[in-house]
Structure 1
Amino acid sequence: MTSGFSRLRREDLLKTACEVIAAQGFGHTRTIDIARAAGVSQALLFYHFETKDRLFAQAFAYAARRHLESLAGVERSPRPPLERLRALLRLCSPTASPEGWRLWIDAWAESMRSQDLAETSRRLDIQCRQVLRGIIEAGVESGVFTCDDPEGATWRIFALSDGLAIQINVHGKVLSRRRVSQLVRTAAAREVGMAAEDL
């Protein structure tokens, strides 16, 4: 019972840490900020996570795990490839949760200086590409998609999606969210031999 409560408490702290980091950034977030937002003492934070770096690494790993669970749901879905592709594009859309994207974008930058963040980021990136490639290959096999290079298509779709996410979250009003969605959908449709309106 105690360990179950401790695990729930830990999950709550990680969730709060993600929210604070998304709002303030890794570089501007202090442990006291997270403790205050969670309504706990800094001592409790350090009891659970020992150091600030460990807390940050585990918070990002928690966010990544949540995203991986959603990816797994798309991957295991019995729905046809086209429906799974639509679901994946929605899940990874540049227009999805701004808070989530702020966390990812900041984590990418911090990954150049943190091995823990880099490993988590790389694991998430690899899994995203594997799921998308599997969907494209299943669609080609079933005759719904036409694509000679599923791996290349996967890289291009995610490169565009990630790049546009940076544009709308860092550069504000350069592109509308509607335009961004249209760009991703059009590019993905071309990669699998479909018209944008059919995707």
Structure 2
Amino acid sequence: MHERIGYGSDVTRRAAEIRLDALLRTACDVIAERGLANTRTADVAQAAGVSQALVFYHFATKERLLSQAFAYAAEQDLARLDAVVRSAASPLVKLRRMLKLYAPTGRPTSWSMWIDGWSESLRVPELEKVSRRLDLRWREDLAAVIADGVREGVFECADPAGAAWRINAMMDGLAVQFAVHDRVISRRQFAEWIRLAAARELGLEPAQLDWSAPAQDRSRRAAQPQPQPDAVS
């Protein structure tokens, strides 16, 4: 009897966890569409096909719903980052993958959510803690990959932490322009400028950071001599 009761409680708890995960994923979709300030618990309940009472059962307040949804989105990004950082790839490959991971792809809904979250962080302490944690992790992991590359002789950089700050800041700024202002910059320009900035920081050729090209093409393009300006007579 006790075993059956324990089994039932485990199933019930697992079902509740699944419902919570589904609610958080739905909340992220609604927030990306409506914005943090304009998202209501009723909107999330309707999108999830559940009662508003169930939403309040899991989150108690609208503020907790929004902050936990934002944290949920952050954890998804951090999980993808961890997969890159913990891989057995070389520092150069890790850097290339991190830049690709950070770059906007498809519709910029994810970046729209982060930009919205940064704005709301000025007023909502819980959101500020989440966004600060994500930003810090990105910079720390980027700096660690750069430092590994310096030790292996792949990168030339006297200040990995400073380089990580500058690369990260440029990506943030370009991503805001890309997500907020339609057609101000293209996705191709974004990628080219990020590769150029990172290459200059680390003593590389931009082609070495091209995540869209096959490895042999990257090596061949990096080895090509750069055009020299015409000599002045």
| TM-score scaled by length of structure 1 | 0.98
Q: 2:72 aligns with which of 47, 51, 62?
A: 62
Q: 1:87 aligns with which of 88, 97, 101?
A: 97
Aligned to 1:36: 46
Aligned to 1:14: 24
| Higher radius of gyration, 1 or 2 | 2
RMSD: 1.0
| TM-score scaled by length of structure 2 | 0.84
Aligned to 1:195: 205
Read off the aligned partner of 1:43 and give its amino acid letter. Answer: A
Q: 2:55 aligns with which of 41, 45, 64?
A: 45
Deviations 1:121-160 (A, max 9, x none): 1111111011100100000000011011111110110101
How many percent of aligned residue pairs carry the same amino acid? Answer: 52
Deviations 1:159-199 (A, max 9, x none): 01010110011111111111111000110111110010121
SS of corresponding position for 2:188 = helix
Aligned to 2:117: 107
* 1:94–1:162 CA contact under 8 A, matched in 2: no
Which ranges of structure 1 fall in alignment gaps of 5 or more residues? Answer: none
Read off the aligned partner of 1:68 and give its amino acid letter. Answer: L
Which fold has the larger relative contact order, with Cα–Cα distance below 8 Å and residues 6 or more apart in sequence?
Answer: 1
Following superposition, the deviation at residue 71 of structure 1 comes to 1.2
Aligned to 1:173: 183
2:168 corresponds to 1:158: yes
Distance 1:171 1:142 in 2: 40
Following superposition, the deviation at residue 31 of structure 1 comes to 1.1
From the two aligned structures, give the one with the greater helix fraction: 1
Deviations 1:32-72 (A, max 9, x none): 11111101110110011000000000000101111111111
Following superposition, the deviation at residue 96 of structure 1 comes to 6.2
